[in-house]
Amino acid sequence: MQSPGDREGAAESGPEPPVSRAYLDSSSTEPLHPAARETLLAALDRGYADPRRLHHEGRDARLLLDNARAVVADCLGVRPREVGFTASGTDAVHRGLLGLTTDPDSSGIVHSAVEHSSVLHAVQWRDSPAHGRIPVDTLGRVDPYAVEQAAWADGVGAIAVQTANQEVGTLQPVDDIDPPPTVALFVDAAAAAGRVPLPRRWDVLAASAHKWGGPAGVGVLAVRGGSWSTPFPGEHDGLDAPGFANVPGALASAAALQAVLAEQEAVADRQFRQVERIRRALAALPDTEVLGDPVDRLPHLVTFSCLYVSGDELVTGLDRRGFAVASGSACTASTLEPSHVLAAMGALTHGNVRVSVSRDTTEDEVDRLCAAITEVVTEVRRSVGL
């Protein structure tokens, strides 16, 4: 075993730690909400048993799971039996969308060009000549009428449109889509759940708990309409994904959702203004595009692209100054392909950064971030002679 002295020695040889850190990547994952932490720790001790068993411990775990389901259902405005827990948000999207398109005569999916990769992967997986990809405008918004029109084509079984875009924050006009009577509306609410009011019109909805401050490994699948049936093998208990139930995770996710909804308006209002401030500072930076809708957007995130700078230089430069941010540029992706969202918008794909503030981001952090971005961009441009 290492002594504390050894660890100190190791730390000294590593890079100099910055004075303070600001986590500004809450769109990738929100830190665990205090309400979720408390519930998770209690439920780990109490909710370990198999909720399918008839003994006392099993019944206790079942009670916690039912409680989690009731809370999530209440938060989404649906009935408890319309809510299932899955292994992740991606799993919820796959089950949700593939479960609406099991009939080979109506397995086509009409979707926006800027859906999350989990939606695009489900579309690729479902072999159908009737799929339709609907372009977006320069703000990243899909035209609801174009979606609707495409959905009347033969062989279409489902429409898939996100509540808000995960990369640029633009809200999508889901409530303006009027699907043909035999076509189900699937909504990916992962980027928006807990942050803005959700659309009213949908048949199947997917979300991911770690995006709102719950633990990782919990997705939510809500089914209230359409002809949905499970697309995957396994024994099914309602809408829950098969396999051993993650009772503590589900309960902590429900507690986090309830807590973020209680504070949603106040947090969203503060975050909206912080992001507006960042957007203004970025607009003053030469050769920089601030992306997404400036008003009808998620409150907590802003994406921008800078000419002559690579995304990884920006991410590492800001990281060295204490800021954790994400990038959609090709050089930061495993595929070396630029973000399909930026490409579909016709936006500049290099020099791209996504900043997403947390519920405890301070005004001082916002000020320091704006100064740091200007510094890093200027430094990199100078190094290439521009």
Stretch 178-197 residues interacting with another protein (CB under 8 A): none
Looking at the Cβ atoms of 171 and 291, the one nearer to another protein is: 291
Of the candidate residues 21, 346, 364, 371, the single one contacting another protein (CB under 8 A) = 346
373 contributes a contact to another protein by CB under 8 A: no
Tell me how crowded residue 124 is: count the other CB atoms within 10 A of its CB: 10
Rg of the chain on CA atoms, in Å: 22
Nearest 5°: CA angle at 251, between 221 and 58? 100
Looking at the Cβ atoms of 64 and 302, the one nearer to another protein is: 302
Task: Give one DSSP letter per residue of 204-243, joined into a string.
Answer: EEEEEGGGTTS-SS-EEEEE-SS-----S-S--BTTBPSS
Looking at the Cβ atoms of 180 and 346, the one nearer to another protein is: 346
* Nearest distance in Å: CB 336, another protein: 7
Stretch 308-337 residues interacting with another protein (CB under 8 A): 308-310, 329-331, 336-337
Looking at the Cβ atoms of 158 and 348, the one nearer to another protein is: 348
Q: What phi and psi, each to the nearest 5 degrees, are found at residue 143?
A: -85, 120
What are the DSSP E strand ranges found in the chain? 22-23, 83-86, 108-112, 132-134, 156-162, 184-188, 204-208, 219-223, 288-291, 301-306, 323-324, 352-356
C-alpha to C-alpha distance for 141 and 135, rounded to whole angstroms: 8
Which positions are catalytic?
Answer: 331
Q: Return the sign of the alpha-carbon dihedral for residues 293, 294, 299, 300.
A: positive
Q: What phi and psi, each to the nearest 5 degrees, are found at residue 355?
A: -105, 125
Of the candidate residues 185, 202, 351, 376, the single one contacting another protein (CB under 8 A) = 351
Q: Which stretch binds another protein (CB under 8 A): 159-167, 190-198, 229-237, 307-315?
A: 307-315
* Nearest distance in Å: CB 377, another protein: 12
Size of the site for another protein (CB under 8 A): 24
Q: Which stretch binds another protein (CB under 8 A): 180-188, 199-207, 208-216, 349-357?
A: 349-357
Tokens of 71: 């809370």
* Nearest distance in Å: CB 316, another protein: 15
* Nearest distance in Å: CB 369, another protein: 22
Nearest 5°: CA angle at 214, between 29 and 256? 125
In the complex, the residues that contact another protein under the rule CB under 8 A are: 287, 289, 305, 307-310, 329-331, 336-338, 342-343, 346-351, 384-386
